[in-house]
Structure 1
Amino acid sequence: MKRFLLVTLLLSVVWSLSAQDKALAIRNNLLQEGNNSVLVVSHRADWRNAPENSLQAIRNCIEMGVDMVEIDLKKTKDGHLILMHDKTIDRTTTGKGKPEDYTLEELRKFRLKNGTNHRTAHTIPTFEEVMQLCKGKIMVNVDKGYDYFNEAYAILEKNGTTRQCIMKASLPYERVKAEHGDILQKMIFMPVVALDKEGAEDIIDGYMAHMKPMAYELVFSKDTPEIQRLIKKVRASGAKIFINSLWPELCGGHDDDRAVEQQQPDESWGWIIGQGAKLIQTDRPALLIEYLKEKGFHN
């Protein structure tokens, strides 16, 4: 019996170390220079097979080998950070109204809906529950969450997950520095820049001069020579590039549906890789991983 318990304990330790190695390997891959592999970011986790922003959707991503999950945050009436994309809970749950009008306990009484708008057994998770699930297994990209930057960072510190989470915002460096300069260097922060909007290059220049971000999320509705110039400028700075393939307006028409429904993956994901993208955010994570493996860009 003692031998059985010892073996069980050893297996548990090995599994734990292996999980931690997985998250560390993804982070090292992201930060490493000269590594041509591409990381897959799953938008609102695996929302096609589980409710968006749910623990099950994140578990699915971990199991399929996704490198990073994208999530969104809101705050409850009693101060808990929860996963929720919309300003109301109407679309994704069986409840109605704004999340800040409910306590966490009240929100737990509602159930999340799946992609076909049907009730499931799943409840709204907290940010802390998500980071506990993801710890050592997968990186996390907080999209709609800048308004809760300090509270989110406190949870990351508490759970020892600051090194596997990316916070981001579509704001100039000066504002981000003024609002969160005390913790900006303690975690990965990624600026989001809409390249086809006036002032895009000024925002890029501001970050390059003062912060030198690890990566930029670049958004563009058209593929033009000016867009190409700005992408090359970011690449030349040594920063990684994050591109969304979710819908055409985010990537100059090189989106997921073009890859899957029009069966033109090389003109979609292949084109994005050709821009030097290190991270691709997708609504088709399993198919993107398959494509990248075939091309030698994913383990």
Structure 2
Amino acid sequence: MKHLFKQIFSGTLLLVGFNANAQVDKLIKQLHNPNDKNVLVAAHRGDWRNAPENSLQAYKLAIDMGVDIIEVDLNRTSDGVLIIMHDETIDRTTNGKGKPSDYTLEQLKKFHLRNGLGVVSNHSIPTLEEVMLLAKGKILINLDKSYPYYNEAYRVLKKTGTLQQAIFKTDAPYIDVRAKYPTILDSITFMPVVYLDKPTAKQIITEYQKEIKPVAFELIFAKDTSGIISNNAFIPQHGSKIWINSLWASLNAGHDDDLAVEREDIKNSWEWLINQHARIIQTDRPKQLLEYLKRLSLHP
């Protein structure tokens, strides 16, 4: 009987592992398919409305909510450990002061994150490794502020077996990225960030398309008069998705989350973004965006 119980328990663990891997494999396949009509939802800093931003709890809540991607902001301690921290200092988001590089990981873990009201919580600053282990087999990761740390992040991802789940990004032009990371660029899932209001935007996109095939282009624009916005079908035609942020107006010419939720004008916010071929939307309102996409059968 004891042997039978062990067999059943082992089989259950294998089934859970298989289901988890199947889930993330589906997301990876969708990410790499520029013709998939469904929209991937990225939660900015996790579910920060219900837990401290960039905390493990914020990421867990986002995963449980059913989002496809969580965003993490990379920084580094004095002993070289990659941690998750948006700001250059820990002043705003914790009960500590100074830069992450002023502290070892052990010292940094003694501070606690503040919630959205500024109240100190029981949550500590997570490491990239902790986040990747939480996300393993479940969800994709947007590695924001990662450009200085590609090599270190790559090692963490290889160690945790999560390399295919992570999206590396930067607004640097191709020639600079290739010079800085000549080998690693061909081994990672990569997304350039392009500011469409700049006159060099089309040139940057074209060069990346010529040299490599990025998984997506993150398009940022304060005005919606760019010719690339009105005629951007060439991006998915060349094998890349379009990522647009709906966070705040300066990133999307006013077609933002608050317009959708607070003013109930979805037509000129999320619908507009989707009509511009956005197949990945990073949002501060993941719950409402998921509900909207499901009504349109644009999210499983």
Deviations 1:142-183 (A, max 9, x none): 011111110000111111111110000001000001111201
Q: How far apart, CA to CA, are the structure 2 residues paired with 1:175 and 1:123?
A: 35
Q: How far apart, CA to CA, are the structure 1 residues paired with 2:256 and 2:186?
A: 33
Q: How far apart, CA to CA, are the structure 2 residues paired with 1:142 and 1:225?
A: 27
After TM superposition, the structure 1 = structure 2 runs for residues 87-102 of structure 1, keeping only pairs within 5 Å, are: 87-102=88-103
Q: Name the counterpart of 2:31.
A: 30
Deviations 1:229-271 (A, max 9, x none): 4533423323110000000111111100000000011221111
Query: What one-letter code is carried by the residue in structure 2 that aligns with 1:127?
Result: L
Contact 1:89/1:95 (<8 A) preserved:
yes
Q: Name the counterpart of 1:11.
A: 12
Structure 1 residue 32: Cα displacement: 2.4
Deviating 4+ runs (over 4 angstroms):
none
Contact 1:201/1:230 (<8 A) preserved:
no
Q: Percent identity?
A: 51
What SS does the aligned partner of 1:106 have? helix
Say which is worse superposed, 3-12 or 86-95, in terms of deviation.
3-12
Q: How far apart, CA to CA, are the structure 1 residues paired with 2:203 and 2:282?
A: 25
Query: What one-letter code is carried by the residue in structure 2 that aligns with 1:198?
Result: P
Query: Structure 2: where are the runs of 5+ without partners?
Result: none
Q: Name the counterpart of 2:85.
A: 84
Q: How far apart, CA to CA, are the structure 2 residues paired with 1:121 and 1:225?
A: 45
Q: How far apart, CA to CA, are the structure 2 residues paired with 1:170 and 1:33?
A: 21
Query: TM-score, normalising length from structure 2?
Result: 0.97
Contact 1:195/1:230 (<8 A) preserved:
no
- Indicate whether 1:249 and 2:250 are aligned: yes
Q: Name the counterpart of 1:238.
A: 239
Query: TM-score, normalising length from structure 1?
Result: 0.97
Q: Name the counterpart of 1:184.
A: 185
What SS does the aligned partner of 1:231 have? coil
Q: Name the counterpart of 1:285.
A: 286
Change (3 A) 1:287 1:35: same
Query: What one-letter code is carried by the residue in structure 2 that aligns with 1:200?
Result: A
Query: What one-letter code is carried by the residue in structure 1 that aligns with 2:14?
Result: V
Q: How far apart, CA to CA, are the structure 2 residues paired with 1:225 and 1:178?
A: 30
Q: How far apart, CA to CA, are the structure 1 residues paired with 2:41 and 2:228?
A: 23
Q: Name the counterpart of 1:165.
A: 166
Q: Name the counterpart of 2:142.
A: 141
Change (3 A) 1:187 1:113: same
Structure 1 residue 5: Cα displacement: 3.4
Say which is worse superposed, 278-287 or 208-217, in terms of deviation.
208-217
Q: Name the counterpart of 1:103.
A: 104
